[in-house]
A and B are shown apart, each in its own frame.
Chain A
Amino acid sequence: MSKELENKGQTNVQAETTPSNSVTPSPLVAALRREKPDWAGEVIEAFGEVTVIVPRENILEICSYLKTAPGFEFNFLADLCAADRGPEEEPRFEVNYHLFSITKHHRLRLKVLLNDDDPHVQTVTGVWRTANWHERETFDLMGIIFDGHPDLRRILLPDDWEGHALRKDFPLRGFDARRSAS
Protein backbone atom coordinates (compact mmCIF):
# COMPACT_ATOMS: atom_id res chain seq x y z
CA MET A 1 0.00 0.00 0.00
CA SER A 2 2.64 2.52 1.01
CA LYS A 3 4.65 1.89 -2.09
CA GLU A 4 1.75 2.79 -4.26
CA LEU A 5 1.09 5.90 -2.27
CA GLU A 6 4.61 7.13 -2.78
CA ASN A 7 4.00 7.05 -6.47
CA LYS A 8 3.25 10.72 -6.97
CA GLY A 9 1.16 10.48 -10.05
CA GLN A 10 -0.99 7.67 -8.72
CA THR A 11 -4.19 8.75 -7.07
CA ASN A 12 -5.99 5.48 -7.41
CA VAL A 13 -5.43 4.63 -3.77
CA GLN A 14 -8.49 2.46 -3.37
CA ALA A 15 -7.64 0.17 -6.22
CA GLU A 16 -6.28 -2.66 -4.15
CA THR A 17 -8.88 -2.61 -1.42
CA THR A 18 -12.01 -4.60 -1.87
CA PRO A 19 -15.15 -2.52 -2.19
CA SER A 20 -16.63 -3.96 0.99
CA ASN A 21 -16.68 -2.17 4.30
CA SER A 22 -12.94 -1.75 4.33
CA VAL A 23 -12.38 1.92 4.92
CA THR A 24 -8.86 3.05 4.28
CA PRO A 25 -9.12 6.67 5.21
CA SER A 26 -5.49 7.42 5.79
CA PRO A 27 -4.42 6.78 2.19
CA LEU A 28 -7.39 8.86 1.17
CA VAL A 29 -6.12 11.79 3.15
CA ALA A 30 -2.55 11.15 2.11
CA ALA A 31 -3.61 11.28 -1.51
CA LEU A 32 -5.59 14.44 -0.88
CA ARG A 33 -2.66 16.12 0.80
CA ARG A 34 -0.34 15.09 -1.95
CA GLU A 35 -2.61 16.20 -4.74
CA LYS A 36 -3.88 19.42 -3.27
CA PRO A 37 -1.70 20.36 -0.32
CA ASP A 38 -3.16 23.81 0.19
CA TRP A 39 -6.72 22.50 0.46
CA ALA A 40 -6.60 20.06 3.32
CA GLY A 41 -5.92 22.36 6.22
CA GLU A 42 -6.40 20.13 9.18
CA VAL A 43 -7.17 16.43 9.18
CA ILE A 44 -8.84 14.74 12.12
CA GLU A 45 -9.20 11.01 12.40
CA ALA A 46 -11.54 9.88 15.11
CA PHE A 47 -13.93 6.95 15.63
CA GLY A 48 -12.73 5.45 12.37
CA GLU A 49 -13.79 8.49 10.39
CA VAL A 50 -11.84 11.15 8.61
CA THR A 51 -12.67 14.81 8.81
CA VAL A 52 -10.91 17.34 6.65
CA ILE A 53 -11.24 20.98 7.57
CA VAL A 54 -11.16 22.93 4.36
CA PRO A 55 -10.95 26.68 3.84
CA ARG A 56 -14.22 28.28 2.95
CA GLU A 57 -12.99 29.70 -0.35
CA ASN A 58 -12.06 26.27 -1.66
CA ILE A 59 -15.18 24.27 -0.87
CA LEU A 60 -16.68 24.38 -4.33
CA GLU A 61 -13.41 23.57 -6.02
CA ILE A 62 -12.58 20.73 -3.65
CA CYS A 63 -16.05 19.20 -3.96
CA SER A 64 -15.96 19.26 -7.76
CA TYR A 65 -12.55 17.68 -7.65
CA LEU A 66 -13.48 14.94 -5.18
CA LYS A 67 -16.62 14.06 -7.08
CA THR A 68 -14.85 12.93 -10.20
CA ALA A 69 -11.15 12.48 -9.45
CA PRO A 70 -10.10 8.84 -9.85
CA GLY A 71 -9.43 7.25 -6.51
CA PHE A 72 -11.92 9.48 -4.74
CA GLU A 73 -15.12 9.39 -6.78
CA PHE A 74 -17.34 10.82 -4.08
CA ASN A 75 -20.38 10.88 -6.30
CA PHE A 76 -22.95 10.84 -3.50
CA LEU A 77 -23.49 13.61 -1.00
CA ALA A 78 -25.06 11.69 1.85
CA ASP A 79 -25.69 14.62 4.10
CA LEU A 80 -25.02 18.28 4.55
CA CYS A 81 -25.65 19.89 7.90
CA ALA A 82 -24.36 22.59 10.18
CA ALA A 83 -23.59 22.81 13.86
CA ASP A 84 -23.39 25.78 16.18
CA ARG A 85 -20.42 25.63 18.50
CA GLY A 86 -21.94 28.28 20.74
CA PRO A 87 -22.45 32.06 20.47
CA GLU A 88 -19.19 32.87 22.23
CA GLU A 89 -17.07 30.58 20.09
CA GLU A 90 -15.09 31.83 17.13
CA PRO A 91 -15.39 30.45 14.52
CA ARG A 92 -18.91 29.76 15.57
CA PHE A 93 -20.42 27.57 12.86
CA GLU A 94 -19.30 24.45 11.15
CA VAL A 95 -20.85 23.12 7.96
CA ASN A 96 -20.37 19.40 7.46
CA TYR A 97 -20.40 17.62 4.13
CA HIS A 98 -20.72 13.86 4.41
CA LEU A 99 -19.43 12.41 1.19
CA PHE A 100 -19.97 8.84 0.09
CA SER A 101 -18.67 6.99 -2.89
CA ILE A 102 -21.12 4.53 -4.35
CA THR A 103 -18.39 2.89 -6.41
CA LYS A 104 -15.60 2.87 -3.83
CA HIS A 105 -17.73 2.57 -0.68
CA HIS A 106 -15.69 4.98 1.36
CA ARG A 107 -16.70 8.12 3.12
CA LEU A 108 -15.21 11.43 4.07
CA ARG A 109 -16.38 14.43 6.01
CA LEU A 110 -15.49 17.93 4.93
CA LYS A 111 -15.87 20.67 7.46
CA VAL A 112 -16.01 24.38 6.79
CA LEU A 113 -15.70 26.77 9.70
CA LEU A 114 -17.58 30.06 9.59
CA ASN A 115 -17.62 33.16 11.75
CA ASP A 116 -20.74 34.51 13.36
CA ASP A 117 -20.61 37.83 11.53
CA ASP A 118 -20.08 36.29 8.11
CA PRO A 119 -21.87 32.93 7.81
CA HIS A 120 -21.48 32.68 4.05
CA VAL A 121 -20.27 29.71 2.07
CA GLN A 122 -20.57 28.85 -1.59
CA THR A 123 -23.30 26.47 -2.60
CA VAL A 124 -22.47 22.99 -3.81
CA THR A 125 -25.77 22.49 -5.64
CA GLY A 126 -23.83 22.67 -8.87
CA VAL A 127 -21.84 19.61 -7.84
CA TRP A 128 -24.54 17.49 -6.24
CA ARG A 129 -28.13 18.51 -6.91
CA THR A 130 -29.20 16.86 -3.70
CA ALA A 131 -27.56 19.73 -1.80
CA ASN A 132 -30.47 21.96 -2.75
CA TRP A 133 -32.84 21.02 0.06
CA HIS A 134 -30.02 20.28 2.46
CA GLU A 135 -28.78 23.82 2.09
CA ARG A 136 -32.25 25.26 2.34
CA GLU A 137 -32.75 23.43 5.59
CA THR A 138 -29.37 24.51 6.92
CA PHE A 139 -30.23 28.10 6.05
CA ASP A 140 -33.64 27.76 7.65
CA LEU A 141 -32.56 26.27 10.93
CA MET A 142 -29.00 27.51 11.33
CA GLY A 143 -28.84 30.69 9.29
CA ILE A 144 -25.95 29.71 7.07
CA ILE A 145 -26.15 31.56 3.77
CA PHE A 146 -25.15 29.58 0.71
CA ASP A 147 -23.99 32.00 -1.95
CA GLY A 148 -25.18 31.14 -5.42
CA HIS A 149 -27.98 28.82 -4.26
CA PRO A 150 -30.77 28.87 -6.87
CA ASP A 151 -33.66 28.94 -4.42
CA LEU A 152 -32.53 29.79 -0.91
CA ARG A 153 -35.70 30.15 1.16
CA ARG A 154 -37.02 28.54 4.29
CA ILE A 155 -38.12 24.96 3.96
CA LEU A 156 -39.43 23.69 7.30
CA LEU A 157 -40.39 26.82 9.20
CA PRO A 158 -42.85 29.47 7.94
CA ASP A 159 -41.52 32.25 5.76
CA ASP A 160 -42.20 34.90 8.38
CA TRP A 161 -40.31 33.07 11.10
CA GLU A 162 -37.70 35.16 12.83
CA GLY A 163 -34.37 33.74 13.83
CA HIS A 164 -32.81 30.37 13.21
CA ALA A 165 -34.09 27.72 15.56
CA LEU A 166 -31.11 25.40 15.84
CA ARG A 167 -28.72 28.14 16.93
CA LYS A 168 -27.68 27.78 20.50
CA ASP A 169 -28.88 31.25 21.48
CA PHE A 170 -32.39 30.62 20.16
CA PRO A 171 -34.69 30.58 23.20
CA LEU A 172 -36.36 27.32 24.09
CA ARG A 173 -39.38 28.91 25.78
CA GLY A 174 -41.57 31.95 25.38
CA PHE A 175 -43.85 33.35 22.73
CA ASP A 176 -41.70 36.06 21.26
CA ALA A 177 -38.31 34.88 20.23
CA ARG A 178 -36.74 38.33 20.11
CA ARG A 179 -38.04 39.49 23.47
CA SER A 180 -37.09 36.43 25.46
CA ALA A 181 -33.71 36.28 23.78
CA SER A 182 -32.70 39.72 24.99
Chain B
Amino acid sequence: MHQVEIATTRETLLDSPEMILNMGPQHPSTHGVLRVVLRLDGETVMDLDCDIGYLHRGMEKIAESRQYPMIAPYWDRLDYLAAVSNGLVWVETVEQMMGLDVPPRAHYIRTILTELNRIASHLLWLATHALDIGAVTVLLWCLREREEILKIFERQFGARLTCHAWRIGGMPNDAYDDFEKDVRQFVNNFPKRIDEYETVLSENRIWLSRTVGIGVISAEDAIAIGLSGPALRGSGVAWDIRKARPYAAYADMDFDIPLGENGDTYDRYLVRLEEMRQSRRIVQQAIDNLPDGPVNAKVPKIVKPPAGDYYHSIEGPKGEIGCYLVADGTSSPWRVRVRPPSLINLQALRQMCIGHLVADVVAIIGTLDIVLGEIDR
Protein backbone atom coordinates (compact mmCIF):
# COMPACT_ATOMS: atom_id res chain seq x y z
CA MET B 1 0.00 0.00 0.00
CA HIS B 2 1.39 3.35 0.96
CA GLN B 3 5.04 3.84 0.50
CA VAL B 4 6.94 4.58 3.60
CA GLU B 5 10.05 6.56 3.09
CA ILE B 6 12.60 5.58 5.62
CA ALA B 7 16.09 6.87 5.46
CA THR B 8 18.78 4.45 6.42
CA THR B 9 22.28 5.71 6.68
CA ARG B 10 23.90 2.37 5.89
CA GLU B 11 23.99 0.45 2.64
CA THR B 12 21.73 -2.43 3.58
CA LEU B 13 19.39 -3.16 6.38
CA LEU B 14 21.75 -5.79 7.76
CA ASP B 15 24.42 -3.21 8.37
CA SER B 16 22.03 -0.85 9.98
CA PRO B 17 21.32 -0.85 13.67
CA GLU B 18 17.86 0.31 12.74
CA MET B 19 15.02 -1.98 11.96
CA ILE B 20 11.64 -1.53 10.33
CA LEU B 21 8.74 -3.15 12.13
CA ASN B 22 5.23 -3.45 10.79
CA MET B 23 2.58 -3.29 13.44
CA GLY B 24 -0.82 -4.22 12.16
CA PRO B 25 -3.12 -3.98 10.32
CA GLN B 26 -4.19 -7.19 12.01
CA HIS B 27 -2.87 -6.50 15.46
CA PRO B 28 -5.08 -6.70 18.53
CA SER B 29 -3.73 -3.57 20.15
CA THR B 30 -4.23 -1.34 17.12
CA HIS B 31 -7.98 -1.45 17.85
CA GLY B 32 -9.06 -2.23 14.34
CA VAL B 33 -7.19 -2.13 11.08
CA LEU B 34 -4.48 0.41 11.72
CA ARG B 35 -1.05 -0.25 10.31
CA VAL B 36 1.83 1.46 12.02
CA VAL B 37 5.27 1.24 10.46
CA LEU B 38 7.94 1.72 13.09
CA ARG B 39 11.60 2.52 12.62
CA LEU B 40 13.37 1.10 15.61
CA ASP B 41 16.76 1.34 17.15
CA GLY B 42 16.78 -1.64 19.43
CA GLU B 43 13.46 -1.27 21.17
CA THR B 44 13.32 2.50 20.88
CA VAL B 45 11.00 4.11 18.35
CA MET B 46 12.94 6.48 16.11
CA ASP B 47 10.12 7.30 13.73
CA LEU B 48 6.77 5.98 12.69
CA ASP B 49 4.18 6.33 10.02
CA CYS B 50 0.49 5.46 10.15
CA ASP B 51 -1.15 3.72 7.25
CA ILE B 52 -4.90 4.13 7.34
CA GLY B 53 -7.78 3.64 4.96
CA TYR B 54 -8.32 -0.10 5.23
CA LEU B 55 -11.89 0.51 6.35
CA HIS B 56 -12.69 3.30 3.89
CA ARG B 57 -16.25 2.89 2.73
CA GLY B 58 -16.75 6.24 1.08
CA MET B 59 -19.39 7.43 3.55
CA GLU B 60 -19.20 11.02 2.39
CA LYS B 61 -19.68 9.96 -1.22
CA ILE B 62 -22.54 7.63 -0.34
CA ALA B 63 -24.28 10.41 1.55
CA GLU B 64 -24.43 12.55 -1.58
CA SER B 65 -26.82 10.10 -3.18
CA ARG B 66 -29.04 9.51 -0.16
CA GLN B 67 -31.91 11.56 1.20
CA TYR B 68 -31.36 13.33 4.50
CA PRO B 69 -33.16 10.88 6.81
CA MET B 70 -31.46 7.93 5.08
CA ILE B 71 -28.00 9.14 6.05
CA ALA B 72 -28.41 8.82 9.81
CA PRO B 73 -27.82 5.03 9.97
CA TYR B 74 -24.57 5.44 8.02
CA TRP B 75 -23.34 7.86 10.66
CA ASP B 76 -23.72 5.15 13.31
CA ARG B 77 -21.03 3.21 11.49
CA LEU B 78 -18.43 5.94 11.82
CA ASP B 79 -17.54 5.65 15.45
CA TYR B 80 -19.51 2.53 16.18
CA LEU B 81 -18.78 2.78 19.88
CA ALA B 82 -20.48 6.17 19.99
CA ALA B 83 -23.29 5.70 17.52
CA VAL B 84 -25.64 7.83 19.57
CA SER B 85 -23.28 10.83 19.53
CA ASN B 86 -22.63 10.50 15.83
CA GLY B 87 -26.32 10.36 15.13
CA LEU B 88 -26.81 13.48 17.20
CA VAL B 89 -24.35 15.59 15.23
CA TRP B 90 -26.04 14.66 11.98
CA VAL B 91 -29.61 15.37 13.03
CA GLU B 92 -28.63 18.56 14.82
CA THR B 93 -26.83 19.86 11.75
CA VAL B 94 -29.90 19.34 9.59
CA GLU B 95 -32.26 20.64 12.26
CA GLN B 96 -30.28 23.82 12.77
CA MET B 97 -30.06 24.43 9.07
CA MET B 98 -33.82 24.01 8.69
CA GLY B 99 -34.52 26.00 11.84
CA LEU B 100 -36.58 23.21 13.41
CA ASP B 101 -37.73 23.75 16.96
CA VAL B 102 -36.97 20.53 18.76
CA PRO B 103 -39.05 20.13 21.95
CA PRO B 104 -37.23 20.24 25.30
CA ARG B 105 -38.16 16.69 26.21
CA ALA B 106 -36.37 15.42 23.15
CA HIS B 107 -33.33 17.52 24.04
CA TYR B 108 -33.27 16.07 27.54
CA ILE B 109 -33.63 12.48 26.42
CA ARG B 110 -30.92 13.11 23.85
CA THR B 111 -28.67 14.47 26.55
CA ILE B 112 -29.26 11.48 28.80
CA LEU B 113 -28.63 8.91 26.12
CA THR B 114 -25.65 10.72 24.64
CA GLU B 115 -24.04 10.90 28.06
CA LEU B 116 -24.76 7.23 28.67
CA ASN B 117 -23.10 6.60 25.33
CA ARG B 118 -20.08 8.61 26.45
CA ILE B 119 -19.85 6.44 29.56
CA ALA B 120 -20.18 3.29 27.45
CA SER B 121 -17.48 4.49 25.08
CA HIS B 122 -15.14 5.41 27.93
CA LEU B 123 -15.80 2.05 29.57
CA LEU B 124 -14.80 0.20 26.46
CA TRP B 125 -11.76 2.44 26.16
CA LEU B 126 -10.75 1.65 29.72
CA ALA B 127 -11.40 -2.05 29.21
CA THR B 128 -9.24 -2.34 26.10
CA HIS B 129 -6.60 0.11 27.25
CA ALA B 130 -6.14 -1.80 30.50
CA LEU B 131 -6.15 -5.08 28.62
CA ASP B 132 -3.43 -3.81 26.28
CA ILE B 133 -1.31 -2.95 29.28
CA GLY B 134 -2.05 -6.25 30.97
CA ALA B 135 -4.90 -5.75 33.42
CA VAL B 136 -7.54 -8.27 32.44
CA THR B 137 -9.87 -7.86 35.39
CA VAL B 138 -10.84 -4.34 34.41
CA LEU B 139 -11.99 -5.57 31.02
CA LEU B 140 -14.55 -7.84 32.60
CA TRP B 141 -15.73 -5.20 35.04
CA CYS B 142 -16.10 -2.51 32.40
CA LEU B 143 -18.01 -4.71 30.03
CA ARG B 144 -20.35 -5.58 32.90
CA GLU B 145 -21.32 -1.93 33.36
CA ARG B 146 -21.39 -1.26 29.66
CA GLU B 147 -23.88 -4.06 29.33
CA GLU B 148 -26.30 -2.16 31.57
CA ILE B 149 -26.12 0.83 29.22
CA LEU B 150 -26.51 -1.31 26.15
CA LYS B 151 -29.61 -2.85 27.69
CA ILE B 152 -31.12 0.61 28.02
CA PHE B 153 -30.19 1.30 24.40
CA GLU B 154 -31.72 -1.95 23.29
CA ARG B 155 -34.99 -1.23 25.04
CA GLN B 156 -35.08 2.34 23.74
CA PHE B 157 -33.79 1.98 20.19
CA GLY B 158 -34.11 -1.73 19.49
CA ALA B 159 -30.38 -2.07 18.87
CA ARG B 160 -27.32 -2.18 21.05
CA LEU B 161 -24.49 -0.88 18.93
CA THR B 162 -25.67 0.89 15.78
CA CYS B 163 -28.78 2.36 17.26
CA HIS B 164 -30.09 4.76 14.60
CA ALA B 165 -31.08 6.70 17.67
CA TRP B 166 -32.56 9.97 16.42
CA ARG B 167 -34.76 11.33 13.71
CA ILE B 168 -34.50 14.77 12.18
CA GLY B 169 -36.69 16.91 14.41
CA GLY B 170 -36.75 14.65 17.44
CA MET B 171 -36.93 10.99 18.28
CA PRO B 172 -38.55 7.92 16.74
CA ASN B 173 -40.35 7.12 20.00
CA ASP B 174 -40.82 8.62 23.38
CA ALA B 175 -38.82 7.05 26.18
CA TYR B 176 -40.01 3.55 27.03
CA ASP B 177 -42.05 2.94 30.17
CA ASP B 178 -39.31 1.91 32.56
CA PHE B 179 -36.75 4.32 31.11
CA GLU B 180 -36.53 6.47 34.21
CA LYS B 181 -36.28 3.46 36.48
CA ASP B 182 -33.51 1.85 34.44
CA VAL B 183 -31.52 5.04 34.13
CA ARG B 184 -31.84 5.80 37.84
CA GLN B 185 -30.74 2.31 38.71
CA PHE B 186 -27.63 2.72 36.58
CA VAL B 187 -26.92 6.19 37.93
CA ASN B 188 -27.16 4.95 41.52
CA ASN B 189 -24.95 1.93 41.01
CA PHE B 190 -22.29 3.47 38.85
CA PRO B 191 -20.19 5.60 41.27
CA LYS B 192 -19.02 2.64 43.29
CA ARG B 193 -18.10 0.84 40.09
CA ILE B 194 -15.75 3.65 39.09
CA ASP B 195 -14.26 3.49 42.56
CA GLU B 196 -13.60 -0.18 41.92
CA TYR B 197 -11.64 0.57 38.78
CA GLU B 198 -9.66 3.15 40.66
CA THR B 199 -8.84 0.64 43.38
CA VAL B 200 -7.39 -1.71 40.83
CA LEU B 201 -5.55 0.80 38.65
CA SER B 202 -4.91 4.26 40.03
CA GLU B 203 -2.21 3.28 42.49
CA ASN B 204 -1.17 0.07 40.87
CA ARG B 205 2.60 0.01 40.44
CA ILE B 206 2.51 -1.67 37.05
CA TRP B 207 -0.16 0.71 35.81
CA LEU B 208 1.81 3.71 37.01
CA SER B 209 5.05 2.59 35.42
CA ARG B 210 3.31 1.94 32.13
CA THR B 211 1.41 5.24 31.99
CA VAL B 212 3.14 7.98 33.95
CA GLY B 213 5.36 10.06 31.69
CA ILE B 214 4.38 8.08 28.61
CA GLY B 215 3.19 9.91 25.52
CA VAL B 216 3.54 13.36 26.99
CA ILE B 217 2.16 16.18 24.90
CA SER B 218 2.19 19.81 25.94
CA ALA B 219 -0.82 22.08 25.75
CA GLU B 220 0.63 24.13 22.87
CA ASP B 221 1.47 21.02 20.88
CA ALA B 222 -1.93 19.52 21.57
CA ILE B 223 -3.69 22.59 20.20
CA ALA B 224 -1.35 22.87 17.22
CA ILE B 225 -1.86 19.25 16.30
CA GLY B 226 -5.62 19.61 16.67
CA LEU B 227 -6.26 17.22 19.52
CA SER B 228 -9.74 17.43 20.98
CA GLY B 229 -11.76 15.75 23.68
CA PRO B 230 -10.12 14.05 26.66
CA ALA B 231 -6.79 13.93 24.80
CA LEU B 232 -6.70 17.73 24.74
CA ARG B 233 -8.02 18.15 28.29
CA GLY B 234 -5.41 15.72 29.55
CA SER B 235 -2.88 18.39 28.61
CA GLY B 236 -4.73 20.97 30.68
CA VAL B 237 -6.66 22.83 27.98
CA ALA B 238 -10.21 23.57 29.15
CA TRP B 239 -11.96 23.14 25.84
CA ASP B 240 -15.28 21.34 25.93
CA ILE B 241 -17.94 22.10 23.34
CA ARG B 242 -20.66 21.14 25.82
CA LYS B 243 -19.61 24.17 27.86
CA ALA B 244 -18.28 26.47 25.16
CA ARG B 245 -21.07 26.12 22.63
CA PRO B 246 -23.86 24.17 24.34
CA TYR B 247 -26.16 22.02 22.26
CA ALA B 248 -29.07 19.69 23.20
CA ALA B 249 -29.84 20.41 26.87
CA TYR B 250 -26.30 20.99 28.09
CA ALA B 251 -26.91 24.65 28.78
CA ASP B 252 -29.16 23.60 31.69
CA MET B 253 -26.68 21.15 33.18
CA ASP B 254 -24.17 21.74 35.89
CA PHE B 255 -20.92 19.84 35.46
CA ASP B 256 -17.17 20.30 35.60
CA ILE B 257 -14.51 19.83 32.97
CA PRO B 258 -11.78 17.62 34.41
CA LEU B 259 -8.28 18.66 33.38
CA GLY B 260 -4.92 16.94 33.45
CA GLU B 261 -1.64 18.59 34.28
CA ASN B 262 1.19 16.73 32.64
CA GLY B 263 -0.45 15.60 29.42
CA ASP B 264 0.72 12.02 29.83
CA THR B 265 -1.14 8.75 29.51
CA TYR B 266 -1.91 8.63 33.21
CA ASP B 267 -3.48 12.09 33.20
CA ARG B 268 -5.67 11.20 30.26
CA TYR B 269 -6.75 8.11 32.19
CA LEU B 270 -7.70 10.25 35.18
CA VAL B 271 -9.52 12.74 32.95
CA ARG B 272 -11.64 10.05 31.36
CA LEU B 273 -12.49 8.47 34.72
CA GLU B 274 -13.58 11.84 36.04
CA GLU B 275 -15.52 12.48 32.85
CA MET B 276 -17.53 9.36 33.51
CA ARG B 277 -18.40 10.71 36.94
CA GLN B 278 -19.41 14.05 35.43
CA SER B 279 -21.47 12.30 32.77
CA ARG B 280 -23.25 10.45 35.51
CA ARG B 281 -23.94 13.81 37.14
CA ILE B 282 -25.42 15.15 33.93
CA VAL B 283 -27.62 12.09 33.49
CA GLN B 284 -28.80 12.45 37.08
CA GLN B 285 -29.77 16.09 36.57
CA ALA B 286 -31.44 15.42 33.24
CA ILE B 287 -33.51 12.54 34.56
CA ASP B 288 -34.53 14.56 37.63
CA ASN B 289 -35.70 17.48 35.49
CA LEU B 290 -37.03 15.53 32.54
CA PRO B 291 -39.81 17.69 31.10
CA ASP B 292 -43.07 16.34 29.73
CA GLY B 293 -44.38 17.00 26.29
CA PRO B 294 -43.88 15.90 22.73
CA VAL B 295 -40.58 14.55 21.46
CA ASN B 296 -40.88 15.64 17.87
CA ALA B 297 -40.84 18.95 16.10
CA LYS B 298 -43.12 19.60 13.18
CA VAL B 299 -41.04 18.29 10.31
CA PRO B 300 -42.00 18.53 6.65
CA LYS B 301 -42.65 15.19 4.95
CA ILE B 302 -39.63 15.70 2.73
CA VAL B 303 -36.62 17.09 4.50
CA LYS B 304 -35.10 19.87 2.40
CA PRO B 305 -32.73 22.24 4.15
CA PRO B 306 -32.33 25.58 2.38
CA ALA B 307 -29.36 25.97 0.07
CA GLY B 308 -26.18 26.95 1.83
CA ASP B 309 -23.47 25.45 3.97
CA TYR B 310 -23.27 24.89 7.68
CA TYR B 311 -20.78 23.47 10.15
CA HIS B 312 -21.90 22.04 13.45
CA SER B 313 -19.92 20.12 15.99
CA ILE B 314 -20.55 18.38 19.27
CA GLU B 315 -18.37 16.97 22.00
CA GLY B 316 -18.24 13.27 21.28
CA PRO B 317 -16.58 10.77 23.61
CA LYS B 318 -13.38 11.00 21.56
CA GLY B 319 -13.41 14.69 20.80
CA GLU B 320 -15.01 17.15 18.47
CA ILE B 321 -17.29 15.42 15.98
CA GLY B 322 -18.02 17.95 13.30
CA CYS B 323 -20.35 17.84 10.36
CA TYR B 324 -20.04 20.22 7.43
CA LEU B 325 -23.09 20.14 5.22
CA VAL B 326 -23.48 21.79 1.83
CA ALA B 327 -27.13 21.78 0.86
CA ASP B 328 -28.43 22.68 -2.56
CA GLY B 329 -32.11 22.87 -1.65
CA THR B 330 -32.97 19.34 -2.79
CA SER B 331 -33.74 16.31 -0.66
CA SER B 332 -30.15 15.07 -0.79
CA PRO B 333 -27.07 16.88 0.44
CA TRP B 334 -24.63 18.20 -2.13
CA ARG B 335 -21.62 17.49 0.02
CA VAL B 336 -21.20 16.16 3.52
CA ARG B 337 -17.98 16.22 5.45
CA VAL B 338 -17.38 14.55 8.77
CA ARG B 339 -14.70 15.88 11.04
CA PRO B 340 -13.64 12.68 12.77
CA PRO B 341 -11.93 13.28 16.12
CA SER B 342 -10.04 9.97 16.01
CA LEU B 343 -8.32 10.84 12.73
CA ILE B 344 -7.01 14.13 14.01
CA ASN B 345 -6.05 12.65 17.37
CA LEU B 346 -4.16 9.85 15.65
CA GLN B 347 -2.01 12.48 13.97
CA ALA B 348 -0.38 13.06 17.35
CA LEU B 349 0.80 9.45 17.54
CA ARG B 350 4.10 10.12 15.80
CA GLN B 351 5.14 12.89 18.12
CA MET B 352 3.97 11.06 21.22
CA CYS B 353 5.76 7.81 20.40
CA ILE B 354 9.20 8.95 19.27
CA GLY B 355 11.76 8.08 21.90
CA HIS B 356 9.54 5.57 23.67
CA LEU B 357 9.70 1.79 23.60
CA VAL B 358 7.66 -0.41 21.29
CA ALA B 359 5.53 -1.55 24.20
CA ASP B 360 4.64 2.07 24.88
CA VAL B 361 3.26 2.47 21.37
CA VAL B 362 0.52 0.10 22.44
CA ALA B 363 -0.22 2.20 25.50
CA ILE B 364 -0.23 5.41 23.46
CA ILE B 365 -2.56 4.05 20.79
CA GLY B 366 -4.80 3.03 23.68
CA THR B 367 -4.70 6.41 25.34
CA LEU B 368 -5.66 8.21 22.12
CA ASP B 369 -8.87 6.16 22.06
CA ILE B 370 -9.18 5.75 18.32
CA VAL B 371 -11.86 3.97 16.36
CA LEU B 372 -10.90 3.02 12.86
CA GLY B 373 -14.41 3.13 11.50
CA GLU B 374 -14.32 6.84 12.08
CA ILE B 375 -10.78 7.40 10.87
CA ASP B 376 -11.33 5.69 7.54
CA ARG B 377 -15.00 6.47 7.04
Contacts and interface: CB of A to CB of B under 8 A. Distances in A.
Interface in B71-115: 96-97
Interface stretch (A33-41, A114-122, A129-137): A129-137
Contacts of A20: 244
Contact of B310 (A19, A49, A170): A49
A75 B313 contact: no
Contacts of A141: 60
Contact of B58 (A96, A133, A165): A165
Main secondary structure of the interface of B (DSSP, over half): mixed
Contacts of A158: 1-2, 53
A91 B220 CA distance: 37
Contacts of A56: none
B239 A102 contact: yes
Nearest to A67: B224
Contacts, number: 102
The size bracket of the interface on B is: 35 or more
Contact of A21 (B245, B344, B376, B377): B245
A154 B237 CA distance: 32
Nearest to B1: A158
Contact of B308 (A19, A46, A96, A105): A46
B58, B237, B310, B311 — which one has the most chain A CB atoms within 10 A of its CB?
A: B311
B341 to A, nearest CB: 10
B322 A98 contact: yes
B311 A109 contact: yes
A69 interface: no
Contacts of A166: 60-61, 335
B21 interface: no
A-B interface, 6 closest residue pairs, ranked by CB to CB distance from nearest? A130-B226, A156-B53, A81-B337, A79-B339, A83-B335, A21-B245
